[in-house]
Chain A
Amino acid sequence: MTSILTLETLPRHQPAAVDTIDWDRLAAPEARRLRELGFDQGVAVEVLHRARLGSGPIACRIGRMTVALRRAVARSIRVSTATLPAE
């Protein structure tokens, strides 16, 4: 089954990959930082922590790096859980 979610709603520790990023919804500097931190189609991501239930930033693993970002940004990153080999 292919399910499309965003990084904001992705359950913690569920392996996923970046599907598409809605660049238009992001401010230019934000979009650039996101690219620089390695967000790109097909890259493996995992949600590690949420600062507080409901609001506050999200910490996620991308590659071997841990990155903190706000929910509004996470919302524009669509992820898919099906493209990964099952674990």
Chain B
Amino acid sequence: MELSPLVAMVGNPNAGKSALFNALTGARQKVGNYPGVTVERHSGRLALDDGRAVELVDLPGAYSLDPSSPDERVTRDVVTGTQAGERLPDALVVVVDAANLDNHLRFALQLIALGLPVVVALNMVDLAERDGLVLDPAVLERELGVPVVPTVAVRRRGIDVLRARLTALVGGTTADLRRLRPSDGSVDDDIVTLQRRARAIAAAATVSETPVRRWNHAVDAVALHPVVGPVLLATLLFVMFQAVFSWSQAPVAWIESAFAALDDVVRAAMPDGFLRSLLTDGVIAGVGAVLVFLPLILILFLFILVLEASGYMVRAAFLMDRLMAGVGLSGRAFIPLLSSFACAVPGIMATRTIDDEKDRLTTILIAPLMTCSARLPVYSIIIAAFIPARQVAPFIGLQGLVLFGLYVMGIVGAFVAALALRRTVTKGDSSGFMMEMPKYQMPRLGDIAIGLWSRAWIFLKRAGTTIALTTVILWALLSFPQAPAGQKQAEYSVAGRIASGLEVIVRPIGFNHDIALALIPAMAAREVAVAAIGTVYAIDDVEDTRGERSLVDNLRGRWSLPTALAFLMWFVFAPQCISTIAVTRRETNGWRWPAFMVGYLFATAYVMAGITYWLAVFAGL
């Protein structure tokens, strides 16, 4: 098979490689994996001006050809032609940030020295201009000896010229004759020499320059202020969690009524029987119970994506570094941990930016303790059923306070776990914290929309497959065999008998038969617990043939308060999420760490739920 020429986008982190890649390839891109490592390979097709097609790959950002993370290693190996499963690129698009030439040119010089055909994209010229920096691309071109194209990736400026230069470059005569210079990995002295040369070139190419980014510094003066900064961060987080609940109320109600209407339609259209029960009690009840949380998840991700795209997230990491250092982590861990409030899966994937291995592992192991959105269904239904909607102070309701307490519990648990892990299984020198703080930017609507859509899609797929399937299986296991008169279906059925076995173990921490039953399918995902309990009561509730009695009423009638509290505490810790376990396995390359994670979290969940139950019992609740 004739492979089309390969062109790789390379450059420092945040140079705008991905933005440029998107501008060049449009929507046609593929995400794969490099063999043996957990580094994603983003590729797409680009039609050159003469009609030929090339494959474009967006390589992970790096600072030099001397890798310090798996991502950077892939970048080096691809551009030196030593990456398994990848051919040597026919040309490189070296992306540099115009406002940061001193630094980005150094890596560019290293890349140019490799000998592959190169075109330099002088990106972010808009931001450079905003900062009062005027550059002369012709000088750069002369000094570097390769074509230089000024671009603004996010506004598609310069894209056509870039494509024209690439067309001339790919398959031209210059390519194959030059030899690659092997990188020996010991480029320390080189770096200093290159850096000096980079600075000299940058100075030569600078036409005029006014002092840097006044505007940025003014914002930072507030955002990073020793007192105001942390207050601002706390306020932002508070507003974020507040918004998650208040903005979501209306859409949640719409989804609920849509499912109720669907339920009515099915009940009216079908005769009473197994199929109807499967559809209403199984599929509609199960998927509906989970889907109502889509608005919450989207709002949470909206905030996280905006904070990330605006450049604020790194400032938050800066502010949090002191605190994180206290438990043996670094400020870098803050970003993955904050994402884990939405979902631990992207959170754990975001740990890839942590270069210290021990640091990264610890962050992965505690990420599931952040209260992810899948716990919200569980928390909110139990709180609605058992915690009175009373005001304890102006603007502070008891229900909200309990919810807040559960979040705090998770955070405290995570910090204690980090402390303990750093002294035992992930012992090692405390790692450093050194990062570049990107410029503030107005987040772009399109990027945010794409980010949200991909999160929504993952969630919908999960609701449509894993969760629908587990609820249907549970429904089947609960419905057969049919209990004779006088016996409870939830105890007589196959699922009931399995649960009776588990009940022996969880009885000491106050869990009843229904909970034991719900815990098993909830292994797939926490929110299934709610769907499962809903299904149990829907099937079991003989008086309520029309599905009218609410889950809340059922819970109130059947659970004691200590049991409900223990159940809440259980979910603060229990690692009941297949996706989290799977992503941990992928990110740590084996079963050892996910097994450890599941073990320590279940043990903690059991102990903490037990303590909660017995304390509540003795307190006479």
Q: Which residues of A contact B (CB under 8 A)?
A: 27, 29-30, 32-38, 40, 43, 48-53, 55-57, 59, 61, 63-70, 72-73
Determine if B221 is an interface residue (Cβ-Cβ < 8 Å).
Answer: yes
Complex Cα spacing A66 to B325, Å:
21
Near A by CB (< 8 A), chain B positions 227-242 give 229
Complex Cα spacing A68 to B331, Å:
10
Report whether B191 and A27 are in contact in the complex, using a CB–CB cutoff of 8 Å. no
Give a binary string over B338-359; 1 marks a CB under 8 Å from any A CB, 0 the rest.
0000000000000000011000
Residue from B131, B133, B318, B436 in contact with A51 in the complex, judged by beta carbons closer than 8 Å = B318
Residue from A52, A53, A66 in contact with B436 in the complex, judged by beta carbons closer than 8 Å = A66
Determine if B142 is an interface residue (Cβ-Cβ < 8 Å).
Answer: no
Report whether A38 and B103 are in contact in the complex, using a CB–CB cutoff of 8 Å. yes
Total number of B residues with any Cβ neighbor in A under 8 Å: 45
Report whether A57 and B195 are in contact in the complex, using a CB–CB cutoff of 8 Å. no
Residue from A38, A55, A61 in contact with B106 in the complex, judged by beta carbons closer than 8 Å = A38
Complex Cα spacing A35 to B64, Å:
10
Determine if B155 is an interface residue (Cβ-Cβ < 8 Å).
Answer: no
Determine if B432 is an interface residue (Cβ-Cβ < 8 Å).
Answer: yes
Given contacts A48-B217, A63-B102, A64-B102, contact A29 B433 (CB under 8 A): no
> Chain A's nearest CB lies how many Å from the CB of B123?
14
Complex interface: chain A residues within 8 A of B229 (CB): 51
Report whether A27 and B429 are in contact in the complex, using a CB–CB cutoff of 8 Å. yes
Determine if B504 is an interface residue (Cβ-Cβ < 8 Å).
Answer: no
In the complex, which residue of chain B has the Cβ closest to the Cβ of A66? B437
Residue from B317, B356, B434 in contact with A73 in the complex, judged by beta carbons closer than 8 Å = B434
Give a binary string over B56-78; 1 marks a CB under 8 Å from any A CB, 0 the rest.
00000001101010000000000
Given contacts A38-B102, A51-B224, A59-B220, contact A67 B432 (CB under 8 A): no
13 A/B residue pairs, CB under 8 Å, sorted by A: A32-B68, A33-B432, A37-B436, A40-B196, A51-B321, A56-B322, A66-B436, A67-B435, A68-B314, A68-B331, A68-B437, A70-B432, A73-B434
Complex interface: chain B residues within 8 A of A52 (CB): 226, 322
Given contacts A38-B106, A48-B217, A55-B322, contact A64 B195 (CB under 8 A): no
Report whether B434 and A53 are in contact in the complex, using a CB–CB cutoff of 8 Å. no
Report whether A33 and B68 are in contact in the complex, using a CB–CB cutoff of 8 Å. yes
Describe B's contact surface by its main secondary structure.
helix
Determine if B188 is an interface residue (Cβ-Cβ < 8 Å).
Answer: yes
Residue from B66, B101, B212, B318 in contact with A59 in the complex, judged by beta carbons closer than 8 Å = B318
Determine if B163 is an interface residue (Cβ-Cβ < 8 Å).
Answer: no
Complex interface: chain A residues within 8 A of B195 (CB): 35, 38, 40
Give a binary string over B207-226; 1 marks a CB under 8 Å from any A CB, 0 the rest.
00000110011001100111
Complex Cα spacing A28 to B433, Å:
14
Residue from A53, A63, A73 in contact with B100 in the complex, judged by beta carbons closer than 8 Å = A63
Interface centre among A29, A30, A34, by most B CB within 10 Å? A29
Known: A40-B195, A57-B318, A68-B314. 20 other contacts (CB 8 A): A29-B68, A29-B355, A30-B434, A32-B188, A32-B191, A33-B432, A35-B191, A36-B63, A37-B103, A48-B224, A51-B226, A57-B433, A61-B212, A63-B100, A64-B99, A64-B102, A64-B133, A68-B434, A69-B432, A70-B433
Q: Which residues of B contact A (CB under 8 A)?
A: 63-64, 66, 68, 99-103, 106, 131, 133, 188, 191-192, 195-196, 199, 212-213, 216-217, 220-221, 224-226, 229, 314, 317-319, 321-322, 325, 331, 355-356, 429, 432-437
Residue from B191, B199, B221, B435 in contact with A49 in the complex, judged by beta carbons closer than 8 Å = B221
In the complex, which residue of chain A has the Cβ closest to the Cβ of B98? A64
> Chain A's nearest CB lies how many Å from the CB of B12?
9
Complex interface: chain A residues within 8 A of B436 (CB): 37, 65-68
Residue from A30, A35, A48, A50 in contact with B432 in the complex, judged by beta carbons closer than 8 Å = A30
Complex Cα spacing A38 to B199, Å:
9
Complex Cα spacing A67 to B102, Å:
14
Report whether A57 and B68 are in contact in the complex, using a CB–CB cutoff of 8 Å. no
Complex interface: chain B residues within 8 A of A49 (CB): 220-221, 224-226
Complex interface: chain A residues within 8 A of B106 (CB): 36, 38
Complex interface: chain B residues within 8 A of A48 (CB): 217, 220, 224
In the complex, which residue of chain A has the Cβ closest to the Cβ of B128? A64
Complex interface: chain A residues within 8 A of B68 (CB): 29, 32-33
> Chain A's nearest CB lies how many Å from the CB of B131?
7
Report whether A35 and B100 are in contact in the complex, using a CB–CB cutoff of 8 Å. no
- The 9 closest A-B CB pairs, nearest first, are A36-B63, A56-B322, A63-B102, A49-B224, A66-B437, A69-B434, A35-B191, A57-B321, A68-B318
Residue from B220, B321, B355 in contact with A66 in the complex, judged by beta carbons closer than 8 Å = B220
